[in-house]
A and B are shown apart, each in its own frame.
Chain A
Amino acid sequence: MTSPGSGAAATTSAGGAPADAHADWRGVSTEEDDALTASASTFLRGRSRRLLGELVRPHRRSLWWLLAVVVVQNLAWLAGPFLIGVGIDSAVPALLDGDSGPLVWTTVALVAAALLDTGSRYLFLTGSGRVGQEVLLALRRRVFTHVQQLPLSFHERYTSGKTISRLTSDVEALAELLDEGLDGLLTALFSITTIGVVLLFLDLPLGLVALLGFPLLYLVGRWFQRQTTVAYRRTRQTIAALIVQFTETFGGIRAVQAFRREPRNDELHARLNEENRQANHRAFWLIAVFVPAVTMIGNVITVAVLGYGAVRVMDGDIQVGVLTAFLLYLRRFFDPLQDIAMFYNSYQSATAALEKLSGVLEERSTVPEPADPHPLPAPIAGEVVFDGVRFGYGAATVLPGLDLTIPAGQTVALVGATGAGKSTLARLAARFYDPGDGVVRLDGVSLTRLADADLRRAVVMVTQESFLFSGSIADNIGFGRPDADRTEIEAAARAIGADGFIRALPEGYDTDVRKRGGRLSAGQRQLVSFARAFLADPAVLVLDEATSSLDVPSERLVQEALRTLLADRTALIIAHRLSTVEFADRVLVMEAGRIVEDGSPAELVGGTGRFADLHRAWADSLV
């Protein structure tokens, strides 16, 4: 098929990674473009600032309190040198005169100031640490919950690696801001304001010259802001790409090693890593220019003040002492600007991370929970109806138009060629997606009108991929019904014939199945995920090739269990082994997204249609 793909391929890859001989390894896909227009950029920044505001708002009171603590701490810190001055200027002469009182008092004051300084520093550090951790916790909770309720289509597009990078590396970028930034910022803001005021009081014209630095600083700051916005965005993207590469490699390490993919992966990783380094390097470069630029402005202003001040002294407008004091304060005025520059830098980095996080939070579910859910009639009967359903994952339609009624309690087998759309139909029944047109109903209620909890209690699907979580076998089975006790869990395992192998494991039900159930064989994993669904005990059970990796005797055990379980339940069973199919009440044959045959197994086998063909072929294959 010659699709319009070639043209699209060219444009997409041009927008993405740098064009080199190997750039197309990742393949083409429709994805968001990373190049941003100016207005989009402003929009993103606004959104991320809003998110930061929302996160910080609950802690406003704490922040005011922290500000007060910082003020006290700074005053106490500044008191030290002052007291020493007092000590040398008056206490020592007094001592020489034989009066040790002033020395004692100065020392006491000095110790008190040190205690006050240290105490308030402790309060500040622990307090700001607490606020920071609360903010992070809130953010983690929010993003995690949100990601969890986003539809499968989101996850398929976004990939787990990117989601992981959002929830780890991006959250940590904010942590850095909260860890390191707040202290410097508050201190700096405080000293700049107070010293600024002092400068203006000392001598207005000189003070104005000193303030001349601010327009310059503003310009430099603007430049820095523009540049770092782009630069930090890039660091976020490149680290995400790196994390995607990392998780994929080690998620499929068997294939990587068996097919000697390592050298190529080294190369790909090195390239992504280098891109990440370059992105970071750009940000480093900007800050390497920005901070000295701020210092330079401070130095130029200092020289200007020095020159102008000297002239004013010579003209007799001010005293030498005023100039000296002015210059001393000026230094203290400009030094904190570096702290502000550093804070601004962390802020920019965190904003870029928050842009990404707020992007995820902005994603709206395409299979949303209804605002006013329709209650399911109790008890749930389990009638499933597809009414004029049309569906496709992307542009291509997978199910062109489907009308199907599965009466309550019926066991329906769904067969057909691979890629016909069987799993797709099953996913619609479990509302992994919503149909493009038409509705899917359970007991007469559209699935879109049901509360998620109700729906999941009623309909459970065992997917083609038997994913297990790391943790014990009991935990994994219990996932089907968290309030089940050990006897119920064991009963479920026994019912489908998994009890035997589980007991043979060294720690029985408490054996840790490890990452993705790697401790178990493929068939054992399937049994455990089957037991999980069995325990959930839903009104409608959807099985998507749930026994494909089992040996024949195990499969037979499962079928026996199903026969009892499904007696009064609706079931949709997808299978290629027709043995699983034949105990169904009804068989549907699917082809290219349509149901082409529909009848009881006996009818269809006896007929001349596709199922009869299929059955014959299958019976032959058994030899």
Chain B
Amino acid sequence: MTQPAENPADEQGRLSALRRLLPFARPYRGLIALTFTGALLATLAQLAVPLLTRRIVDGPIADGDRGALVPLLGLALLFGTAEAALMFLRRWAMGNSSLAIERDLRDTLYQRLQRLPVGFHEGWSSGQLLSRATSDVSTIRRFVGFGAVFLVVNLVTCVVVGALLVVTYWPLGVAVLVTSVPLIAFGLGFEKRYNAQSRAVQDEQGELATDVEEAVQGIRVVRSLGRSGLVFGRYDRKALRLRELQLTKVRTLAVIWCMFEFHPQITLAIVLVGGALAVNTGALTVGGLVGFVALFTVLLWPILSLGFLLAQAQETASACDRVGELLDAPLTVTDAPGVQPAEVARPARLRFEDVGFRFPGAGDPVLAGIDLDVAPGETVALVGATGSGKTTLTALVPRLLDVTRGRVTLDGHDVRDLPLSQVRSVVATAFEEATLFSMSVRENVTLGRPGASEADVEEALRVAQADFVHDLPWGLDTRIGEQGLSLSGGQRQRLALARAVLGRPSVLVLDDPLSALDVHTEALVEHALREVLAQTTALVVAHRASTVLLADRVALLQHGRITAVGRHSDLLAEVPAYRELLSSSAELAGAGEGGAR
């Protein structure tokens, strides 16, 4: 699946993407400061032991003074301990801050994703979302907890030591600075390339995760058609592509690394030659040269490590971009500014006024001017051919989708002018495909009303004829499998129905709620459902005459419009299209022919 990920390749460093992390780092600035202090002090403490060694060699040993040895040794031990303690401090502080940042970022991302509209989720493959919330966020954590600290510490070391070099003997110092120009120039070029390659790898990891998810969730289809070979082939192609992308990345990293490793060594050779010539002309003493070289060797490791630390920073920058794409996705279905809850009666009046809907990017609108008025307490059945837009229409009521034209009103209030949470608590939906979660039966049923009483739950289960739950091994506390797949189709559908009718919502939207039930159970559910429907405003999508009979009126949806509204029997008599769609004789005729075979 291709994401709307335009790649702004023209930007220079791309490290600016890291700025996005600042708000997440801010709460932990104390810990972060501690990390830097710890890192710096530990480096200093590290220097103390060699210095003390020299003192001992020059002092007590030279003098043969055993008494003076002990305090110096004690001091060395003290600094050694300090080094270890500071190291601990740095790691401890770093762990605390980076893990907290990771947690906050992931929570923020999850919360944001939950609130992005259904339309957004349809366009994004699940693996892409997952890989961003897991691998990318972890990449960011690793950088914050390690790379960032040493990047800064090493850069500071380079600058300080560079300045010292210039101070020590400026012609050589300047020469060293000049040699770093090509390194920086080439390095940045490769870093940019590395950024793009990291991005490609991360994207491909998301694709791979998507493939895994589909292969696992579609396992029944794969199994029943015996297509594991085909599915594996798809996965394998992506896995191979991922390997190639990774190897390309590895090669770029190797080049970067080698540049940063080669540079200080070659500079050292230049320093030696330059220094020797300077000594030759008398501009520098041998001692001065030794000092200069010693100072420069301090830089070997910081320069070398800059290579991969910058690469890590680039990788993190592209991870930030990926996470940022989600955080920046617009919340199109959200509360209008300053909305106030309004009075909505129980049951409420539901009206569609010239409602149109067009899927983003699609040509023709699915709905083109729907006018429908559902009086308080009335039940209207929505009938239409497969793909005529019934589900789309029902999704407009709880604002899973927002109209692109006209308005949907509840008691005269446009649903977009009400708080989202109010609309969604007023309206309860049973979807055409029962969406269940691998949680307890109770949690599934009370999904929208966590405070529901035991009596309410029992009542809802009764209406939906879902008493079978009491026979499950742990009754209402039994965990039902993922997607509810440890239940039969009809059992799933009844649980989803129980969830919708729980607490008798004032507007009920049922999308083909009885399609998976046998005739007897259907009759029982209909009987019980009638009581509920008498007290709520309801929109019921129906394919069968039996379901239509639940309704007071029927609306026929054709070509994006409501072309007829009326009683079932009237429509049967008067509207040919309706007869075509719902006539029992059609169903019976089909059956009869078959029986006569």
Contact = CB atoms under 8 A, between A and B. Distances in A.
A432 B286 contact: no
A518 B122 contact: yes
A313 B519 contact: no
B250 A464 contact: no
Identify whether the interface residues of B are mostly helix, strand, loop, or mixed: helix
B57 A324 contact: yes
A141 B236 contact: yes
A300 B80 contact: yes
B135 to A, nearest CB: 6
A103 B212 contact: no
User: Most chain-B Cβ atoms within 10 A of its Cβ — which of A88, A512, A545, A584?
Assistant: A88
B50 interface: yes
B181 interface: no
Contact of A314 (B66, B106, B428): B66
A39 interface: no
Given A252-B435, A295-B84, A118 B258 contact: yes
A209 interface: no
Interface in B44-98: 49-50, 53, 56-57, 60-62, 64, 66, 69, 73, 76-77, 79-81, 83-85, 87-88, 91-92, 95-96
A432 to B, nearest CB: 6
B288 to A, nearest CB: 11
A406 to B, nearest CB: 18
Contacts of A296: 80-81, 84
A225 interface: no
A261 B512 contact: no
B16 interface: no
20 contacts: A9-B474, A24-B440, A28-B440, A88-B293, A103-B273, A118-B262, A144-B232, A168-B212, A248-B438, A277-B103, A284-B91, A285-B95, A314-B60, A432-B220, A479-B230, A516-B217, A522-B432, A549-B543, A576-B522, A623-B568
B151 interface: no
A532 B438 contact: no
A261 B447 contact: yes
Contact of A303 (B77, B110, B275, B384): B77
Interface string A307-318: 100110110000
B597 A92 contact: no
B363 to A, nearest CB: 6
Interface string B521-560: 1110000000000000000000111100100000000000
B26 interface: no
A392 to B, nearest CB: 12
Nearest to A160: B216
Interface stretch (B337-345, B373-381, B477-485): B477-485
A27 B230 contact: no
B232 A148 contact: yes
Interface stretch (B190-198, B453-461, B588-596): B588-596
B91 A288 contact: yes
B77 A469 contact: no
Contacts of B384: 551
Nearest to B131: A168
A251 B126 contact: yes
B324 interface: no
**9 A-B pairs with the lowest CB-CB distances in the bound complex, closest first:** A456-B226, A583-B594, A418-B490, A27-B440, A299-B80, A622-B584, A523-B386, A27-B479, A284-B95
B184 to A, nearest CB: 18
B29 interface: no
Contacts of A395: 473
B543 A168 contact: no
Interface string A519-554: 111111001010011001000000011001111111
Interface in B427-446: 427-429, 431-433, 435-443
Contact of B102 (A125, A277, A501, A601): A277
A247 to B, nearest CB: 6
B137 to A, nearest CB: 10
A570 B122 CA distance: 38
Given A92-B276, A417-B521, A617-B519, A8 B474 contact: yes
B359 to A, nearest CB: 8
Contacts of B66: 311, 314
Nearest to A524: B387
B273 A107 contact: yes
A125 B259 CA distance: 13
Contacts of A136: 243
Given A96-B280, A464-B489, A550-B386, 13 more contacts: A5-B477, A92-B275, A122-B255, A129-B251, A144-B235, A147-B216, A252-B483, A288-B88, A296-B81, A300-B80, A310-B69, A432-B223, A583-B591
A578 B519 CA distance: 9
Interface residues of B, number: 193
B435 A254 contact: yes
A113 interface: yes
Interface string A261-294: 1101110011001101100110011011101110
A193 interface: no
Nearest to B572: A623
Interface string B459-500: 000000000101101110111111101111111001000010
A351 interface: no
A110 B126 contact: no
A582 B568 CA distance: 26
Interface in B105-121: 106-107, 110-111, 113-115, 118, 121
Contacts of B254: 121-122, 125-126, 129
Nearest to B297: A81
Interface string B202-218: 00010011101111111
B251 A126 contact: yes
B253 interface: yes
A457 B272 contact: no
B205 A168 contact: yes
B398 interface: yes
Interface in A144-194: 144-145, 147-149, 152, 155-156, 159-161, 163-164, 167-169, 172
Given A246-B130, A479-B225, A552-B581, A418 B488 contact: yes
Contacts of B208: 140, 167-168
B272 A140 contact: no
Given A122-B255, A306-B76, A470-B214, A254 B431 contact: yes
Contacts of A423: 488-489
B161 interface: no
Contact of A576 (B1, B92, B210, B517): B517
Given A88-B289, A126-B251, A522-B433, A559 B95 contact: no
Nearest to A81: B297
Contacts of A550: 386, 543
Contacts of B150: none
A218 interface: no
Contacts of A465: 220, 433, 483, 485, 489
A130 to B, nearest CB: 6
B210 A470 contact: yes
A55 interface: no
Nearest to B293: A84
Given A84-B268, A84-B272, A129 B135 contact: no
Given A84-B272, A144-B235, A418-B488, A117 B88 contact: no
Contacts of B280: 92, 95-96
Interface in B568-597: 568, 580-584, 586-588, 590-595, 597
B352 interface: no
Given A28-B478, A136-B243, A299-B83, A549 B512 contact: yes
A63 interface: no
Contacts of A156: 481-482, 485-486
Nearest to A175: B246
B447 to A, nearest CB: 4
A126 B249 CA distance: 10
Which of A148, A300, A512, A529 has its CB near the most chain B CB atoms (within 10 A)? Answer: A148
A419 B491 contact: yes
